[in-house]
Structure 1
Amino acid sequence: MLNGIIKLFYTEVVKNKINNLPKEEYEINDQFKKIQNISYKIDSVVFAILKIFTAIFILLVCYKINVYFAIGAFFIEFAYIFYKKSFKTKAESEISTIKENINKSKESILKEKGKRDISFLLSILLIGLVTGFTWVLALCFFVVFAITIRDIYANFKNNL
């Protein structure tokens, strides 16, 4: 009993101390963010320089092999830069589209009837597992499953 009283007193003191802590962010987090931004900038600059040196090295090796081969490699590198720029904008637009789709309410896709059908499917599945799936239960399961999928697809298609 004495241990319970000490534990209760200790937890109340700890809760009180935690509640009295300041709610604002600490300065160390801001300093860490500044250091993180600086290291990110340094890494991106070093990586860009490394890519430039790699491209120049490839061009020099191609030039040692053949002049025309070096010109072709230069055009390929140049085309890659434009492809990368266009791919980046396309990828950003696709990511924003995916984010918008994720933010859509799931209620619009799964209506009340769909929820009821899914719970009915789970009930049939549990009964089937207990009884060993007679052919009648299996037939009911597949019929309800097909109707549920059709309803969910129809709701999904209407929301697009």
Structure 2
Amino acid sequence: MFKDGIQLYPDADEDVNDFIELVQQDLIGCCGFSNDDEGYKQWGQNMYFNCSVSDSMKDLNKLACAVPESCCKYKDGEIKNLLCGAGVLNKSPSEVSNQIYTRGCLKGIGDIIAQNSLVFGIIIAVVLVVQMTTIYFAKNLIFQIKQQIRKWRYNHNR
């Protein structure tokens, strides 16, 4: 969905566009879908952002060789600029890394998981302990109920 959304952006469904913007700007700080440090170049597959526009049309199409505004890095209190990512697709990551997020979102997710693997491991362990404890108590309750049924039958069959 994310990869297809990049190709169709901004003509895609509004929810898909919002999801792409949320992931890129707010959740992960990434640009594009790929699993590398040049994820922003994937926006070249989009018909609005690709660099194949003729030089005479580039003056009309300010989005040519650009990335969406959700790829841009902002400092606190800085005013957002819709053209902050203009002309970055034909530049190297080192040239634009202060201006936009360059890593792909899959790499961003991988980095987050790697940085927080201990936290994820603890959460998984706690969930497993809670589940196993619940299963133990449920089995114990079943055993006690069966024991009471046997006692009741024994006392009523005398």
TM-score, L = length of structure 1: 0.33
Q: By percentage of residues, which structure has more helix?
A: 1
Larger Cα-atom Rg: 1
TM-score, L = length of structure 2: 0.33
